[in-house]
């Protein structure tokens, strides 16, 4: 297929490589063009404008950091909505908000194009190995047409229905359930420490029982060893994700009290100067609230 | 050693069997005496009073349902505090509250006895196989003397320090972290369902990623399939555990906002008639609050 | 009528004086007997035991600090349940918990006596002037018999039904609504201060609009001027009241999320050493959580 | 002075009348022009474009419903930023968000103009009588120049500093403190009703004590009499205000747990179909959560 990839950050570059490796004809575009150089060597064409990246494509993939970045490339005068051929598909693989995806679904439909939302679970090294989990939602025939790409990019595809924003909601939800787990550990460790028990012991107990999952192992270690500066995911992005969750939930009138609880700790952490540390600082803020 | 076991419910009976199997001389006591019959056949003596169960024992183990039950056997005129020999050890293996354990630690000390708190993780079948995790806290020499028993009963012992209430706090904390995980899934499923996504899909996503732990698998299935009547742990006990957490946290001045969040849903669930269903009904109540 | 008053603290003494002033025959009792001296001069008899204070009385009034104090005088071997004549009334005027009042209602009924719960709103100087508000609940005929006393003691009586615990619930609720107002001001002031606006300006705005009530005036001044050491009501008692609210709410399965919110700040305030300051320190803790 | 007023809704029209009554030369503009007719009869000129409304004005007042409406008139090609003379003042009297006011402050400054934020407390009838409270913030000299207008429009001006967003924050905060009071009553009434006590009795108790303020009287009556359809302020706007509060608080890293609590109830109320009823339905939703 004729594919475009817009957004060549650490994730987007790996996704472009997977597409190329599966034998598709690829053109790539990035706001700062030097990001494309390694892909050119690997066989991709370099677009000098969004219009170039869209012209004659079957599918254009975007992998962008947030809603403003997505809206900028989608709604620019030569952006995806203006430049994609009728019948083409926009695969939006970033983590976006429900209102943004809902509006874009409509805009593409009015232009005779189709939006497929397919956010992913996994980091760049996982992407490089083609081992991402992909959550995909959109019209059935569009998903079917995207299948070769999805299979080239990910290990497994979860189908989240016909509405693109369904995939968005699932991805946002996955993030907030993780945030709740981190917060719960923060409450746990602050409590046992006040009884003179090491956080690391509590961590061992949690990691060996019903909660033996990577999240509890990884974040439990960060919290118990206070490794706030080994940033896997920064607190400010954790707050952004919590906001995406509350925004999505408001769109369908769902209260999320546990998200409120950890979002409040993130705000406190930022107020105390921890905004650029790992988002596990919500646990540090919980400890502060307990006088530790 | 000369051992007594008080409380022959489903857990206590299995613990008594493990003690017997390790070659200790055992006497057992239960408020309703017929519970002891199978153990008599296995070689245990049957005490007809608490005084009998305590007389001349090195260690008496209690495995009781709650604080009032513990206080009843501890403070009765012929109870453990009155009847245990000086120098003997009381191993309290039930899940109790911090104030109850703190008071009992003091009472035993005044009587020249020692309290070791050693609550467990695991159900009766796990206990039968000697595969429990035990969280033990108490004076170092007392723990050392208990070691043969702890090894006979459990697979692994977590040492939670010299203060018995430390072990109590760890056990209570383990329970509330689990409650938080169930609540987070409740929020998750209510949100995606409103976007037309099956709860079972969200469950799959959660169970395959960073949160791949038995708790998410087991409770996610209960919630997504709405199996509220397959009661593993009843809502009213979940509420009792949340109260133990808040009580322990108040003793050391720690706010627990995530526990408040799920406790409120348990109260709502009870108000709506779900008090005797599985405590995963907190997720059902969350769905109700979202108009589902 | 023949009246007894048990508990001669600052409130109880004033209530006793009002009873005496209305021409009733009065006997008083206090754990520490010297508290009764001024009342003896005013014409009251001094009881040397609870039995004396109950013997032959139509009504015995208790005004005690908490549930344990009430339970001690009610259930002592010579306490009110044991010593009040059949047909007599126990007017419990302190602020007590719902479970404590429920149990005592039953105990008095079994002894052929009647419990009337009648907690009050107002401080000792208000009591001295006979200007208390009284919230009264109990059987209609008992309330009718108490009317001369209630009118002697208070300015107005709110009738909260036939069940004594109804009056208890109203009083506890009044306290927690006040706590919520203080907490809201704490959130308000912490927010505007971060925008460079004086808390006192926000206080003025609140006090001049829809929220022009004594509570906002008084507590707003304490918070904006940071007068934490001018203790009207101490933080630890504020926490006790929040616990009474949660306990009452649990008895009837009602979640109270706003009470959780301010209770968490009280816990944090206590953790930071403010437990013996005015309960408005919940606002100071809110400011801390905002990095102020 | 030469004054423009943009936005002739129920509040804006009254404000325009007050300006006219104080003898200023007035031109008015509304998106739907017929709203201006009564003011023309009273002596105002009618602008046919935003450019007309701004040309040669000393001050242009906007009174608009929300941020998008404000941004539309401010940033339109012929809007206030483009059309106000250098040195002119924009008095923004609507209730807006902190980020919107912050951005507009900057935009006006770059165009050599000055933004004064001056949101008001009071309804149209209060505005007609010149009895509004005004919260004003902006550079001192600009506020001084606005004084004749502010005095013509309101009864009292609260000065919230030099930064326009300070006034915004105060107004938003005033609204959320009110929301917290309504929520607290919701929790109060749901609790006492479960004890068989009438909500109206609880309302009487609250209204006669430390919380004797119009808000408790007015909203307490709405809730206790379940007058959800006598809409003073609609639930969806209450939710919008809560969002403004959380947005403002996020800008300065302040957690607002009590706002979260009532916002969650508003979401639940909307989920249950009460979005167009009075925002006191947060109390109805609280009752639902308690199984009432």
Does residue C195 belong to the interface with chain A, where contact is any CB pair within 8 Å? Answer: no
Helix H or strand E segment including C155 = strand C154-159
Contact assignment for A255 to D239 by CB distance below 8 Å: no
Answer yes or no: is pLDDT of B33 > 90: no
Q: pLDDT under 70 in chain C at which residues?
A: none
Q: How long a stretch of residues is chain D?
A: 292
From first CA to last CA, the distance across chain D in angstroms is: 58
pLDDT higher than 90, residue D165:
yes
Please say if C171 is a catalytic residue.
yes
Radius of gyration over alpha carbons of chain B, in Å? 21
Return the pLDDT at D231. Answer: 86
How far from the centroid of its chain's Cα atoms is residue C197's Cα? 36
For the cut 90, the answer to whether the pLDDT of residue A232 exceeds it is no
CA distance D175 to B35: 63
pLDDT (tens digit per residue) in A151-209: 999 999 999 999 999 999 999 999 999 999 999 999 999 999 999 999 999 999 998 88
Contacts of C267 in chain A (CB under 8 A): 290
- Most D CBs within 10 Å, among C258, C264, C291, to test the D interface: C258
Coil/strand/helix, residue C63:
coil
pLDDT value of position B208: 84
* A256 CA: distance to closest CA in chain C (Å): 13
* HSE-up (13 A, CA, CB side) for residue B15: 34
Burial class from Cβ neighbours inside 10 Å (0-12, 13-18, 19+) for residue D110 reads exposed
Q: Quote the CA–CA distance of A16 and C15 in Å, as a whole number.
A: 83
Q: How far apart are CA B291 and CA B280, in angstroms?
A: 18
Check residue D116 and report its DSSP letter.
E
Three-state DSSP at B155 gives strand
At D2, is the secondary structure helix, strand, or coil? strand
Q: What is the pLDDT of residues D238-251, one digit of tens each?
A: 999 999 999 999 99
Give every CB contact of residue A281 below 8 A, 6+ residues apart in sequence: A228, A235, A266, A269, A274
Across the interface, which of C202, C210, C254 has its CB nearest the CB of D213?
Answer: C210
Confidence of residue B150 (pLDDT cuts 50, 70, 90): very high
Q: What is the mean pLDDT of residues A247-253?
A: 97
Q: Do A249 and D267 touch (CB under 8 A)?
A: yes
Neighbouring chains of B at 3+ CB pairs under 8 Å are A, C, D
Q: Which two tokens stand for residue C38?
A: 């001024």
Segments in chain D forming alpha helices (H): 10-21, 37-41, 50-54, 67-75, 80-83, 98-110, 124-128, 140-153, 164-194, 199-207, 214-224, 235-251, 257-271, 281-289
Rounded Cα–Cα distance for residues C181 and C258 (Å): 10
pLDDT the model gives residue A34: 87
| Token output for B39 | 């153990």
Alpha-carbon gap, residue B165 to A163, rounded angstroms: 52
Question: In chain B, whose CA is at the least distance from the CA of C258?
Answer: B260
User: Is residue B133 within 8 Å of residue B121, measured between CB atoms?
Assistant: yes
Is the CB of residue A139 less than 8 Å away from at least one CB of chain C?
no
Cβ contacts (< 8 Å) between C257 and chain A: which residues?
Answer: 257
A211 interfacial to chain B (CB closer than 8 Å): yes
Q: Is the pLDDT of residue A88 over 90?
A: yes
Q: For all residues of chain B together, what is the average pLDDT? A: 96
Band (pLDDT 50/70/90 cuts) for residue B273 is very high
CB contact under 8 A, A249 and D255: no
Residue B232 pLDDT: 86
Inform me whether the pLDDT recorded for A64 exceeds 90.
Answer: yes
Q: Which structure tokens are listed for B159? A: 């040492």
Q: What is the DSSP letter of B85?
A: P
pLDDT at A33 over 90: no
Whole-number pLDDT of residue C208 = 84
Residue A154 DSSP label: E
Number of Cβ within 10 Å of residue D284's Cβ equals 24
Cβ of residue C279 closer than 8 Å to a chain D Cβ: no
Mean pLDDT of chain A: 96
pLDDT in tens, A272-285: 999 999 999 999 99
Cα distance between residue A81 and residue A129, in whole Å: 31
Q: Which two tokens stand for residue A142?
A: 């569009």
Q: Which helix (H) or strand (E) holds C45?
A: strand C45-46
User: What is the C-alpha radius of gyration for chain A, rounded to an integer number of angstroms?
Assistant: 21
Residue C32 confidence (pLDDT): 87
CA distance C132 to C119: 10
pLDDT of B6-29, one tens digit each? 999 999 999 999 999 999 999 999
Q: Does residue B195 sit at the D interface (CB-CB below 8 Å)?
A: no
Instruction: Check pLDDT > 90 for residue A115.
Output: yes
Nearest by CB to D291, from B257, B264, B271: name it.
B271
pLDDT in tens, D207-236: 888 999 999 999 999 999 999 999 889 999
E strands present in chain D = 2-6, 25-29, 45-46, 59-62, 89-92, 114-117, 120-121, 132-136, 154-159
pLDDT at B253 (0 to 100): 98
Question: Per residue in A217-229, pLDDT tens?
Answer: 999 999 999 999 9
**Among D114, D113, D133, CA closest to D123:** D133
Between positions 21 and 80 of C, the ones with CB within 8 A of D are: none
- pTM of the model as a whole: 0.95
Helix, strand, coil share (%) of chain A residues, nearest 5: 55, 15, 30
User: So what's the pLDDT on residue D32?
Assistant: 87
Q: Which residues of chain A are within 8 Å of residue C269 when distances are taken between CB atoms?
A: none
Q: D169-214, pLDDT tens digit by residue? A: 999 999 999 999 999 999 999 999 999 999 999 999 998 889 999 9
Q: Name the 3-class secondary structure at A267.
A: helix
- Which residue from B186, C260, B246, D242 is spatially nearest to A180, judged by alpha carbons? B186
> Distance (Å, rounded) from C-alpha B218 to C-alpha B182?
10
Residue bearing tokens 């009588």: D129
| pLDDT over 90 at D34, yes or no | no
Measured in whole angstroms, the distance separating CA D126 from the mean position of its chain's CA atoms is 13
**Is the CB of residue C260 less than 8 Å away from at least one CB of chain A?**
no
Tokens 């004890």 — which residue?
D195
The DSSP bridge partners found for residue C5 are C28, C61
At B202, the pLDDT band (50, 70, 90 cuts) reads very high
- For residue B156, give the 3-state DSSP assignment: strand
Determine the residue of chain C that is closest to D285 in CA distance: C255
Q: C242 touching B, CB under 8 A?
A: no
Between positions 152 and 181 of C, the ones with CB within 8 A of D are: 156, 158-163, 165-166, 169-170, 173-174, 176-178, 180-181
Put simply, whether C124 touches D (Cβ < 8 Å) is no
b/e code A73-107 from CB counts within 10 Å (16+ = b): bbeeeebbbebbeeebbbbbbbbbbbbbbbbbbeb
Question: The complex's ipTM?
Answer: 0.95
């Amino acid at each position: 297929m004729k594919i475009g990839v817009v957004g060549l950050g650490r994730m987007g570059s790996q996704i472009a490589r997977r597409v190329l490796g599966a034998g598709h004809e690829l053109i790539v575009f990035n706001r700062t063009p030097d990001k494309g150089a390694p892909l050119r060597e690997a066989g991709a064409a370099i677009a000098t404008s969004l219009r170039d990246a869209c012209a004659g494509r079957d599918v254009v993939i975007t992998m962008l950091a947030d809603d403003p970045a997505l809206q900028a490339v989608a709604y620019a005068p030569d952006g995806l909505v203006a430049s994609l051929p009728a019948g083409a598909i926009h695969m939006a693989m970033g983590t976006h908000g429900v209102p943004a995806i809902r509006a874009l679904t409509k805009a593409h439909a009015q232009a005779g194009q189709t939006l497929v939302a397919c956010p992913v679970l996994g980091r760049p090294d996982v992407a490089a190995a083609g081992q991402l989990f992909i959550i995909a939602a959109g019209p059935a025939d569009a998903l079917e047409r995207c299948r070769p790409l999805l299979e080239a990019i990910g290990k497994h595809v979860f189908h989240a229905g016909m509405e693109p924003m369904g995939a968005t909601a699932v991805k946002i939800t996955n993030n907030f359930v993780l945030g709740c787990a981190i917060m719960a550990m923060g409450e746990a460790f602050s409590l046992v420490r006040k009884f003179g028990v090491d956080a690391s012991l509590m961590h061992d107990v949690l990691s060996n029982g019903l909660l033996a999952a990577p999240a509890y192992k990884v974040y439990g270690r960060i919290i118990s060893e206070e490794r706030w500066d080994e940033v896997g995911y920064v607190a400010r992005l954790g707050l952004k994700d919590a906001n995406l969750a509350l925004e999505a939930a408001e769109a369908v009138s769902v209260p999320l009290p546990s998200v409120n609880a950890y979002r409040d700790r993130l705000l406190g952490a930022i107020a105390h100067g921890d905004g650029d540390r790992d988002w596990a600082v919500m646990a540090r803020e919980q400890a502060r609230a307990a006088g530790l």
